[in-house]
């Protein structure tokens, strides 16, 4: 029997594969296509204190081997989320991680405070969304802000806190250290790279917001590099993501030092991507006679 | 609600209908069985550089419900790729997606199916599925396509922008020119429309003025196609029940909306 | 007659299309495949003061829609370059831009000083190579260093100086401003994004240097975004690059604000890529009835 | 020097030679005409997610010099893609690349062609092009391929790692087992070798010890394939004339090197 269980700050996942925030809604829609019980965890779309309208359309554009999105964190607000979406997720035998967004430190804290009372396994704090003017990335590019907001939400959180880092920085290890100092339990990376596409026929921006976040297979090498750097800098467990579409992709992250991985954009071109990754990791372990996934985490040094 | 499946379909035939319009019949296990008129499928590119699905309306479902037809215009790299596939090739598709036209609303009414350009294909299956008094208004830029199929299921009125066939102008022009007006007692009692935004805007205004129930099929760029990513929203008049903001998801809440529900 | 001529700091190019440093050697090899006379300019591989051995192999790895490279700036040194490679390039009716690398400020200056006496149209200073320990990116991620090295090489250069910026920064406009303050005549961007690939079967790094520079179509959205940001920050002309493989790609950069563009990785999968871009830009202009390419530069705002 | 061309070649046939070894004949305009034994071509993937060329040795050129043969093992995504192409499909290739074996050095000598695994294919054209006393030593893991072609052009000695055919072991074992030794006066006077690094290392050591002129074909990951990018270097014993450092470009200065010139 091979063991794919991993533990993130005391929360045990049946396998290291989860969904990436914002690509999987709150699970309802994809539950028609795949069995959520098989996932290590479901990570929800970002939740704010009140409903957010998000950005105007077009909100996405395809790029070579990836896409840019500027959804702008549309969400129904924490009240509806807790009353409607959480009860749905609770029915499944999978861990629930709620992604949190806010425009100010206070808003992040308000959401975390509200969610702390719920049956949620972990909170992921999105301080790296490139598509909103306030909050988001403004926090994620400054180590002092990262530390401050980490410490602030930690005061309200009863669940372990995952800080989600932005790749739009010169030195990701600086941000990782700041989050560690602030008291983060887990780090997740990467969020999207800021990108732009121009429609040369209409001579305008391909997404209404001008810039958007680049995701998908195209960003994987940047993501693996950052996970590797962070894994070799801080002691916290890491959730790796950015372009994972296959088990091979996921294993790159795990070998580089990620304890768990998230599948995002790949859901859009293969709704079964998460399951394919889980099954592929198992076959790889079988083929290579690896009993416990722990034997793989961070072994490439 | 129809069950969604991601399948590796098999291409049964590929045919060119007009300069850049192609028709493809696909054999499916589940999707054709579940499909209803006005729904669409996400078609996945076989080239790894293209990661987003192409939403294409279901034009027809075969009688045995084992295959479905897609009619599409080549406008970019993805549709170009599809146009080069041959019978026997395989193609990954997800569907059926979206809500489709509310056929039951048309029962006993004089229903108008209005299609513009590449919005015409879904009208074939819609016409097929509807009983009663059907008027099909098809607006083209220049070259005609799917005329025979449409004529099989209703009275067809044609408009072309370049005036090469039917009424010169758009679908509303064709209605007027053919006396499909209130004055003649031949105006629509319910409208199902699909086509480019300017056409839908004009139809919406007409329906509003005439107080006719009007359902329009919207387009927006999509990523997930199932309602999870919030890429494909359109603005709703009222706060939407699901999103709690003035946004509706075209892929899940639509693509068909009551014209008064949404901003265009 | 349409006009595709552009001017960079007084140097007039017959068209805005050049090669990206390091992907085209010094032109000899590709001259067997395409007519160098048709190019706006040839940009050479980086030249140092003495021969550099570069990194161990494997030096490259394919990634999704791109590649990572860690060549490590192997080059024969400025003496051989001036005596052998330059005379070859001088035979062609195209502009010659020499890419300069160094381990210290003094080495950059030494190379620039030596090249200043030659029949070279412009010098491109590579302060953004992620694959060498000293020099390179160490300069390109710090605005003070960018300004200092720009000012230093400007003292020795008799040709206009192009500063080549690194995308591995949080705020590219800060680096652009620093180069402008230092006296740069032109900016080029982007160099490669630092990336990593792991060979999951060998459980080791896919390139010997562990990390490498990510290039190719996959990086284009990041590059276009940065060109746009820089074009709207400084007054200097910009050479845009990063993933350009077709005229459509090049036009995105031009519309975003680039006066010229470079084709790099695309040469590897289409040796005619530069010519395809040139021809495609002309057809686009014809189709859209654009007389002068100036009408396109930076019009998407 | 042979003229290089980037061509859209046409696949004439595709055949499976062993479990994961395929053979493809391609019609070219220029490349086959210019090719000489030991040279290779860059094969471009048709899938946009793969941007680097796959270097594949020229296994054979047809008599009319209008087509060439590639024999390759499926080891990854690119070669897997090639294996699924069919006659009539088109494939972009660049070539001929590299220097090839220095056939003139073999004139009048007892030449040994030593190929290991997927290093065997270039030996077919090399054997074809050489006159005189040719010994071909082919080393396989298990399944044999290209044996008939090789036998047409010289005496063939076979080794298999699993001992299923010929001498159990490697190419050197096959030499010894067949009495191709100095003692018997049947040792090589010149060697042309292609195969995996451990095999080349052993042959190099043997040749050095026996003071035999030995040419080996090297492998390294490539990007440009024409000598411009410096991706594919191997270490040279002396400072290289072109690079001015201890590096030689496999794609341009090689792939064939004198075994004493390069580090292995
Ligand atoms: C619900 C729905 C039903 C549709 N039904 C049909 C149909 O039956 N026949 C038909 O020809 N077309 C239909 N379309 C439009 C069709 O999806 C696009 O023409 C197609 O996606 C273009 O892909 P491409 O790769 O050729 O173009 P590109 O421009 O290269 O595509 C780039 C990206 O933009 C997206 N995109 C481009 N145009 C559109 C568009 N109009 N709507 C949504 N996304 C777009 C593509 O999906 C892709 O992600 C429908 C669109 C929607 C939303
Ligand atoms: C000069 C030369 C001649 C060759 N001739 C033959 C031949 O005749 N038949 C044959 O089967 N193989 C030959 N090879 C090896 C062949 O190039 C690789 O097996 C092939 O590139 C693998 O591609 P892939 O996409 O299937 O594998 P992947 O592992 O998916 O390839 C990933 C990347 O690594 C490169 N790569 C992988 N393996 C090698 C390798 N061994 N050498 C160089 N690059 C590699 C690929 O080109 C690609 O860029 C030759 C290699 C060289 C350098
Ligand atoms: C459409 C879309 C919406 C996203 N929304 C969020 C979000 O709400 N919160 C968040 O932290 N990250 C969000 N992300 C980022 C992803 O969670 C993930 O970090 C990123 O896309 C990289 O992974 P991928 O390449 O697998 O998609 C979003 C990404 C996409 C593509
Ligand atoms: C193999 C390789 C070698 C390179 N060498 C250099 C170099 O010597 N100097 C430099 O400034 N940039 C170098 N670059 C970066 C390119 O010039 C260019 O900035 C980058 O590759 C992005 O463009 P592309 O995506 O079109 O390749 C190199 C890139 C590659 C792929
Ligand atoms: S495409 Fe994802 S919500 Fe509609
Ligand atoms: S592959 Fe570019 S130098 Fe050999």
* Contact yes or no for B224 and A29 at CB 8 A: yes
Residue of C nearest to A211 (CA): C225
Q: How far apart are CA B175 and CA B110, in angstroms?
A: 14
Do B173 and B151 fall into the same domain?
yes
Cβ proximity of C44 and C98 under 8 Å? yes
Of the candidates B6, B53, B229, the beta carbon closest to that of A272 is on B6
CATH 2.70.98.10 fits A6-54+71-195+215-295, yes or no: no
Q: Is the pLDDT of residue A133 over 90?
A: no
What does the DSSP assignment read for B124-193? HHHHHH--S-EEEEEEESSS--SHHHHHHHSEEEEEETTSSSSEES-HHHHHHHTT-STTTT---SEEEE
User: Are the beta carbons of A53 and B225 separated by less than 8 Å?
Assistant: no
Give the model's pLDDT for residue D117.
96
Q: Report the number of distinct structural domains present in chain B.
A: 3
Confidence of residue B2 (pLDDT cuts 50, 70, 90): confident
Structure tokens at D44: 């471009």
* Ligand 2 geometric centre to CA of D54 (Å): 5
Residue D51 Cβ contacting ligand 2 at under 6 Å: no
> B115 and B27 in one domain?
no
**Using an 8 Å Cβ cutoff, are A214 and A67 in contact?**
yes
Q: Is the pLDDT of residue A128 over 90?
A: no
Which among B84, B44, B22 has a CA at the least distance from the CA of B223?
Answer: B44
Ligand 4 contacts (CB < 6 A) are: C 20-23, 45-46, 69, 71, 73, 99, 126, 129, 164, 191-192, 215-216, 219, 241-244, 263-266; D 223, 229
Of B224 and B185, the structure prediction assigns the larger pLDDT to B224
Closest Cα to residue B121, out of B72, B75, B68?
B72
- What is the overall mean pLDDT for chain C? 96
Residue ranges of the alpha helices (H) in B211-250? none
* Residue D156, domain CATH: 3.40.50.80
The predicted pLDDT at position C133 comes to 62
Does the pLDDT of residue A131 top 80, yes or no? no
> Which helix (H) or strand (E) segment is C164 a member of?
strand C161-164
Helix (H, G, I), strand (E, B) or coil at B17: strand
Any idea how long chain B is? Answer: 264
C62 lines ligand 2 (CB under 6 A): yes
Cα of D118 from ligand 6 centre, angstroms? 21
Q: Are D257 and D234 in contact (CB under 8 A)?
A: yes
Residue B209 structural domain: 103-216
- pLDDT at position D132 is 85
Taking CA atoms only, the protein residue closest to ligand 4 atom 29 is C22
Q: Does residue A97 have its Cβ closer than 6 Å to ligand 3? A: no
pLDDT in tens, C210-248: 999 999 999 999 999 999 999 999 999 999 999 999 999
pTM above the 0.80 mark? Answer: yes
Check pLDDT > 70 for residue C131. Answer: no
pLDDT in tens, A222-274: 999 999 999 999 999 999 999 999 999 999 999 999 999 999 999 999 999 99
- The tens-digit pLDDT sequence of chain D (264 residues) is 689 999 999 999 999 999 999 999 999 999 999 999 999 999 999 999 999 999 999 999 999 999 999 999 999 999 999 999 999 999 999 999 999 999 999 999 999 999 999 999 999 999 999 998 899 999 999 999 999 999 999 999 999 999 999 999 999 999 999 999 988 889 999 999 999 999 999 999 999 999 999 999 999 999 999 999 999 999 999 999 999 999 999 999 999 999 999 998
Selected for mutation to probe chain D from C42, C57, C209, C246 (highest D CB count within 10 Å) is C57
Locate D169 and state its tokens.
Answer: 């072991």
Annotated binding residue B78:
yes
- List the Cα angle B77/B80/B84 in 5-degree steps: 140
> Do residues B204 and B251 share a domain?
no
Q: Let me know whether B132 and B145 are in one domain.
A: yes
Name the token pair of D254. Answer: 């090689």
Neighbouring chains to B with at least 3 Cβ pairs closer than 8 Å = A, C, D
Predicted pLDDT of residue C135: 61
Q: Under an 8 A CB cutoff, do C60 and D242 touch?
A: no
d(CA D194, CA D189): 17
Length of chain A: 301
DSSP helix/strand/coil, C199: strand
Task: Cite the active site residues of C.
Answer: 129
Q: Residue C167: what pLDDT?
A: 96
Residue C63: pLDDT band (50, 70, 90) is very high
- B59 assigned ligand-binding residue: no
Question: Which candidate from C30, C69, C77 shows the least CB-CB separation from D226?
Answer: C30
- The CA distance from D139 to C134, in Å, is 46
User: Which of these, B17, B34, B36, B13, lies nearest to B25 by C-alpha position?
Assistant: B13
Distance C121 CA to ligand 4 centre (A): 20
Residue of chain B whose alpha carbon sits nearest to that of D48: B49
One domain, residues B76 and B41: yes
Three-point CA angle D9, D15, D18, nearest 5°: 130
Helix, strand or coil, per DSSP, at residue A107: helix
- State the pLDDT at residue C175: 96
Cα distance between residue B57 and residue B225, in whole Å: 12
Which CATH number does the domain housing residue D86 bear? Answer: 2.40.30.10
Instruction: Please give the pLDDT value at position C157.
Output: 96
The alpha carbon of B54 and the centre of ligand 1 are apart by a number of angstroms equal to: 5
User: Is residue C217 within 8 angstroms of chain B, CB to CB?
Assistant: yes
A153 CA distance to ligand 3 middle (Å): 21
Same domain, D77 and D168: no
- Cα A300 to Cα C205: distance, rounded to the nearest angstrom: 7
Centre a 10 Å sphere on the Cβ of residue B49 and count the other Cβ atoms it contains. Answer: 22
CB contact under 8 A, A217 and D49: yes
Contact B231 A61 (CB under 8 A): no
Q: Which atom of ligand 1 is found nearest the CA of B21?
A: 11
State which residue of chain A sits closest to D49, comparing Cα positions.
A65
For residues C287 and C285, what is the distance between their CA atoms, to the nearest angstrom? 5
Token duo for residue D156 = 């063939």
In chain C, residues with a C-beta closer than 8 Å to the C-beta of D231 are 59-60, 69, 71
Average pLDDT over every residue of A109-119: 95
Give the pLDDT of residue B1. 66
A132 pLDDT above the threshold of 70: no
- Residues D112, D209 within the same domain: yes
Greater confidence, A180 or A140?
A: A180
> Across residues A144-156, what is the average pLDDT?
95
Angle at B98 between CA B262 and CA A262, to 5 degrees: 105
Mean pLDDT of B20-47: 97
- Give the start-end residues of each E strand in chain D: 5-18, 21-27, 40-43, 54-57, 60-61, 67-73, 90-97, 111-116, 134-140, 155-160, 167-168, 190-194, 213-217, 233-235, 247-249, 256-258
Instruction: DSSP letter for C192, please.
Output: P
CA-CA-CA-CA dihedral for C90, C93, C95, C96, to nearest 10: -20
Pocket lining: B188 vs ligand 1, CB cutoff 6 Å: no
Do residue D110 and residue D78 come from a single domain? no
Q: Which residue of D has its CA nearest to A217?
A: D49
D118 and D193 within one domain: yes
Q: Is B225 in the pocket of ligand 5 (CB under 6 A)?
A: yes
Does D181 share its domain with D108?
Answer: yes
- For residues C108 and C134, the answer to whether their CB atoms sit within 8 Å is no
Atom 4 of ligand 3, nearest CA residue: A22
Contacting residues of C for A300, CB less than 8 Å apart: 198, 203-205
Single residue among D97, D118, D133 that ends a domain in this structure: D97
Query: Residue C116 has which token pair?
Result: 């200043």
Pair D44, D112 in one domain? no
Q: Which residues of A touch D48 (CB under 8 A)?
A: 64-65
């Amino acid at each position: 029997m091979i063991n794919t269980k991993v533990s993130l700050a005391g929360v045990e996942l049946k396998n290291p594969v989860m969904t990436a925030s914002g690509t999987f809604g709150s699970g309802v829609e994809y539950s028609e296509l795949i069995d959520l019980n098989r996932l290590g965890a479901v990570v929800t779309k970002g939740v704010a204190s009140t409903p957010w309208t998000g950005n105007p359309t077009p909100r996405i554009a395809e790029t070579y081997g990836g896409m840019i999105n500027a959804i702008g964190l549309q969400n129904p607000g924490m009240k509806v989320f807790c009353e409607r979406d959480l009860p749905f997720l609770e029915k499944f035998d999978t861990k629930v991680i709620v992604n949190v967004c806010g425009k100010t430190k206070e808003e992040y804290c308000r959401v975390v405070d509200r969610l702390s009372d719920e049956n949620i396994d972990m909170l992921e704090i999105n301080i790296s969304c490139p598509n909103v003017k306030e909050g988001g990335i403004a926090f994620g590019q400054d180590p002092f802000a990262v530390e401050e907001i980490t410490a602030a939400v930690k005061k309200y959180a009863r669940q372990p806190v995952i800080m989600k880092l932005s790749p739009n920085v010169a030195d990701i290890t600086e941000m990782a250290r700041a989050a560690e100092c602030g008291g983060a339990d887990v780090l997740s990376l990467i969020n999207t790279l800021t990108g732009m596409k121009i429609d040369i026929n209409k001579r305008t921006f391909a997404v209404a917001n001008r810039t958007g976040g680049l995701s998908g297979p195209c960003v994987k090498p940047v993501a693996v590099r950052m996970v590797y750097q962070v894994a070799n800098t801080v002691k916290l467990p890491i959730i790796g993501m950015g372009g994972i579409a296959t088990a091979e992709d996921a294993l790159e992250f795990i070998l580089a030092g990620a304890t768990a991985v998230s599948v995002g954009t790949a859901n859009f071109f293969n709704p079964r991507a998460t399951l394919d990754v889980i099954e592929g990791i198992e076959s790889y372990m079988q083929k290579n006679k690896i009993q416990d996934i722990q034997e793989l985490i961070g072994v490439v040094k | 609600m129809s069950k969604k499946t991601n399948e590796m379909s098999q291409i049964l035939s590929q045919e060119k209908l007009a300069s850049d319009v192609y028709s493809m019949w696909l054999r499916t296990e589940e999707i054709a069985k579940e499909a209803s008129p006005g729904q669409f499928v996400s078609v996945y590119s076989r080239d790894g550089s293209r990661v987003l699905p192409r939403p294409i309306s279901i034009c027809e479902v075969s009688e045995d419900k084992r295959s479905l037809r897609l009619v599409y215009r080549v406008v970019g790299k993805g549709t170009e790729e599809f146009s080069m596939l041959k019978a026997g090739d395989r193609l990954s598709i997800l569907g059926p997606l979206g809500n489709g036209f509310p056929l039951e609303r048309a029962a006993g009414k004089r229903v108008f199916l209005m299609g513009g350009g590449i919005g015409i294909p879904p009208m074939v299956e819609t016409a097929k599925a509807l009983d009663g008094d059907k008027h099909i208004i098809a607006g083209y830029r220049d070259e005609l396509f799917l005329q025979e199929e449409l004529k099989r299921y209703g009275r067809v009125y044609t408009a072309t922008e370049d005036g090469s066939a039917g009424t010169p102008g758009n679908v509303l022009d064709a209605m007027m020119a053919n006396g499909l007006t209130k004055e003649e007692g031949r105006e629509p009692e319910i409208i199902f429309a699909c086509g480019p935004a300017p056409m839908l805007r004009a139809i919406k205004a007409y329906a509003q003025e005439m107080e006719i129930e009007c359902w329009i099929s919207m387009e927006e760029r999509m990523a997930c196609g199932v309602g999870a990513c919030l890429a494909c929203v359109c603005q709703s008049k009222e706060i939407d029940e699901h999103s709690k903001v003035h946004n509706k998801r075209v892929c899940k809440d639509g693509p068909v909306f009551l014209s008064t529900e949404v901003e265009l």
